[in-house]
Amino acid sequence: MGNAFYFEFEPHLMIWLQNMLGEKGALAISHLSALGEEAVAIVIIGFLYWCYDKQFGIYIATNVITGVVFNGFIKNIALRLRPYIVHKEIVCYRPQDKSADIYDVAAQGYSFPSAHSMNSTIIYGSLARYTKGRIFTILAFLLPFLIGISRIVVGVHYPSDVMFGWGVGAILVFLLPFIYEKAGEEKRTLVNFIIFVVFATGFFFCKTTDYYTGMGLMAGFFPAIEFEKRYVKFEGTKKPLSIIMRFAGGFLIYLVLNMLLKLPFSKEFLESYTMGAFVVRFLRYAIIIFVMFGVYPLAFKLVNKKKA
């Protein structure tokens, strides 16, 4: 079901940290992981794209979604088992899927590289690079560091998982904007297509939900920004009430569509790790993201017309 490889110092360091902190300390630190999860990315991207600065939102979303896909792609190549599965002395304090057995590899996913470490580096690093603000620069170093340490302490990632996640995340923060800047706006669509095709090779061998979720996000987002640019062309807002309404509407659309698109299928099928379930997950996320970023902004223009 997977591969076991690690540096000699890694399990010893993890066991030492867990013994030093104890269960209460490890559980307290585990909450830092939430700062690198998808909910934070959704809040930041949704606020930026729908309200504050559309181009800023596109910039962050492109980096984050590419990072999510890349992470799932590499995990399916390395197939590295999580530390607590290999070393029984290491305790798992924060499983990937709390409803499943912690030793169910399909449910708990693979270890290398750390998605939390990579995603947090991309999110906060992108904020710092785009704004060039001192506070965001400090957060870009501090938060991924704390999140990465928390992933080691809770027993779900080796230190090398975390360090690789930090490194690749930092590279993507600078590499992706560099590629788009060199290509120019007129070739952005081509670059998006090439990125998607490269990672689509994973359809031949990837068998984890995170990969198909990421590919669904990418398949929905890239066409959505093209659709918005050609047919919608909405403007941002700084009015508090409009910000709340736009964000609440987008979040509601996510919840409703996610529920409706699951209705034709049984819970057992959706939670299975079959190609059919993966395809449905891919299509579900593609539709949701396209509607949220491409179609939903049409409502902003309709509201503005009525007010005018």
**For residue 113, is it left (φ>0), alpha (ψ between -120 and 50) or beta?**
beta
Q: Which of 118, 91, 93, 87 is nearest to 9 (CA)?
A: 87
Residue pLDDT, tens place only, 76-92: 999 999 999 999 999 99
Kindly indicate the confidence band of residue 71, based on its pLDDT and cuts at 50, 70 and 90: very high
Q: Report how far apart the first and last C-alpha atoms of the chain are (Å, whole number).
A: 61
Confidence (pLDDT) at 118 = 96
DSSP classification of residue 109:
-
* pLDDT of 307 higher than 70: no
Kindly indicate the confidence band of residue 23, based on its pLDDT and cuts at 50, 70 and 90: confident
| Stretch 16-45: mean pLDDT | 89
| Stretch 195-224: mean pLDDT | 96
Structure tokens at 90: 């290491």
CB 301 within 8 A of CB 234: yes
Confidence (pLDDT) at 35 = 85
* pLDDT of 218 higher than 90: yes
Helix axes 115-131, 134-153, angle to 10 degrees: 180
Class of domain 1-195: mainly alpha
CB 68 within 8 A of CB 76: no
* Residue 217 buriedness (CB in 10 A; 0-12 / 13-18 / 19+): buried
Cβ-based neighbours of 141, under 8 Å, separated by 6 or more: none
Confidence (pLDDT) at 304 = 67
CB 71 within 8 A of CB 115: yes
Task: Give the separation between CA 62 and CA 90, rounded to whole angstroms.
Answer: 36
Kindly indicate the confidence band of residue 34, based on its pLDDT and cuts at 50, 70 and 90: confident
**What pTM did the predictor assign?**
0.92
Q: Where are the domains of the chain?
A: 1-195, 204-308
Confidence (pLDDT) at 151 = 94
Confidence (pLDDT) at 156 = 95
CB 37 within 8 A of CB 106: no
Structure tokens at 284: 């579900």
Torsion, CA 122, CA 127, CA 128, CA 129, rounded to 10:
80
| Stretch 7-17: mean pLDDT | 95
Q: What is the percent of the chain with per-residue pLDDT over 90, rounded to a whole number?
A: 80
Residue pLDDT, tens place only, 145-178: 999 999 999 999 999 999 999 999 999 999 999 9
Confidence (pLDDT) at 100 = 86
Confidence (pLDDT) at 111 = 95
3 strand-pairing partners: 80
Q: Which of 212, 205, 209, 166 is nearest to 76 (CA)?
A: 205
Confidence (pLDDT) at 92 = 93
Residue pLDDT, tens place only, 219-270: 999 999 999 999 999 998 888 999 999 999 999 999 999 999 999 999 999 9
**Residue linked to tokens 């590295």:** 80
Alpha carbon 91 to its chain's center = 25
Kindly indicate the confidence band of residue 126, based on its pLDDT and cuts at 50, 70 and 90: very high
Kindly indicate the confidence band of residue 217, based on its pLDDT and cuts at 50, 70 and 90: very high
* pLDDT of 191 higher than 80: yes
Confidence (pLDDT) at 37 = 82
DSSP classification of residue 69:
H
